[in-house]
Amino acid sequence: MNYKIISFFLGIFILIVSLFSFLNVLYSINLNFVLDLSSYIITTLLSLIIGTTLWYFGRQHSKNISTADQIIFISLTFLLIPFLISIPYYLSIYNMNFINSYFESVSGFTTTGFTTIKNIKNIDAPLLLWRSSSQWIGGLLFLVATIGTIGSKQIKIKPAYLLSGGASARNFYNNFNYNFIKILLIYSLSTIFILFFYNFFDIRLLDSFHLAFTVISSGGFLPTNNLSNIVDTNLKIFILSITLFFPIFNFFILHDVITRKFSLKNYQEDFHLFLLIILLTLSIYFIVKPGDDFVNIFFAITTSISTSGITTYSSNIDLSLFFILLTVVGGSLISTSSGFKYTRIYILLKISYQEIYRLVKPINIIDKNLYNSDVTIDDQDLKIAFFVFITFIISIFILSSILTFDNLTFENSFKLSLLTLTNTLSSSLYGLDNLSFFTLNNFTKIALIFFMTLAKIEIIAVLYLIKKFFFRD
């Protein structure tokens, strides 16, 4: 394992935390919130020292690292950065112990949205900003990891390389510089666009800021206990639903539209997702629940597929399991949404159908093109998609079993397991709005922390490392 080069890239990511904690220092001073000011100063100094030290330690070493080292780097990112993010929670005036603080930070960084805070309206403005920022940072670094590492042709954990915007990763260092700057610019500009979009439709500026950070990262943290306090009209709900396309669709779609490089044949996955959203919305509105508000149904569909989970939706018919299954579908491979991902489902269904068809007509030529494009699905893509599906099912069984030991019903344990593995907020949409994470025992919280993290970095990545280091030929 190349410790120096791993520390170089890890140091860069940690320096991002120091920047956001410094902004929180300025924000606290500006609003005269001095009680927790020291916690942000400590976080700024600590992350700056650690980040600079790691960067300096590896700056002159070889910049092209192995596949295993790339996965270790991503894994360390999702393990270590939440420790730094947890500092303001732990040192705050709200008496949060270490487990609750780390749980909160992991939940934010993985854009899940679970919280141990009993009443959000009692939290001061700087800590609310810190919660929202943790989502934004997590969404950014997840995109970098997806495009540069776990979605590359060399690793193939996510087949992002099959889509427009996927990384070739022939030289990790060169691609890292290019991808990181490009992703940061698009991500930042998209956030600003969403922010002004909300503000234009009369959502309060501070609420717009928090909501923009949540939506762009497909997160679940909100600055209030009830989303209806922010989006209180059908127009605002519809606007929020439209902006949830950002974490659903391919991350590069807006960039290609603006730069006039957009071509529908390169974004067939997004076209399928759009048709799926429209079809499901119309089916529920006209067939399943004709008395419900169309805008609220549309919002429920988009927030589920985006794996955000924020909602204003309520109904007299329980469709919670259906909406949870939509979180499993997820959005584009190159997006901040979690879940199994639509393209993987497409690959499994298409190849399965073709194998059955080949048994009936064995002399026919099998089409293995992705979305009828020039991109071809190979056997390894199918094997990885199937293996990810199997590990996903096994993880649901394991986590559900653990949760049942904490006085949760089997139904709630099953639902919470699915939401954890898709990094989705446990809201009223899924029938879990009364669940209190604060009252769960520490072992349950640690299990949720582990599986929230595992859902982001992919179980197959961990198994790859185990095979690499413990089962060498």
Asked if 330 contacts 338 with a C-beta cutoff of 8 angstroms, the reply is: yes
Q: Greatest CA separation found in the chain?
A: 76
Residue 312: per-residue pLDDT: 87
Residue 438: per-residue pLDDT: 92
Mean pLDDT by 10 residues, the chain (473 residues): 85 94 93 88 96 88 76 91 96 93 97 93 92 96 87 78 65 73 93 95 93 96 92 94 96 89 88 96 90 90 96 79 94 93 90 76 68 79 88 94 91 95 94 89 96 90 73 57
Contacts for 436 with CB less than 8 Å, ≥ 6 apart: 118
**Rounded distance, CA 81 to CA 14, Å?**
7
Residue 470: per-residue pLDDT: 63
Asked if 382 contacts 348 with a C-beta cutoff of 8 angstroms, the reply is: yes
Cα Rg of the chain, angstroms: 22
The pTM of the full predicted model, rounded to 2 decimals, is 0.93
CA of 449: how far to CAs of 218, 328, 429, 455, in Å? 18, 19, 22, 10
Contacts for 462 with CB less than 8 Å, ≥ 6 apart: 75, 454
CA of 46: how far to CAs of 18, 88, 101, 281, 408, in Å? 8, 12, 17, 48, 39
What sign does the CA torsion over 331, 332, 337, 342 have? positive
Which tokens hold the place of 91? 């040192």
With CA atoms as reference, report the closest residue to 166 among 343, 305, 307: 343
Q: How far apart are the first and last CA of the chain?
A: 17
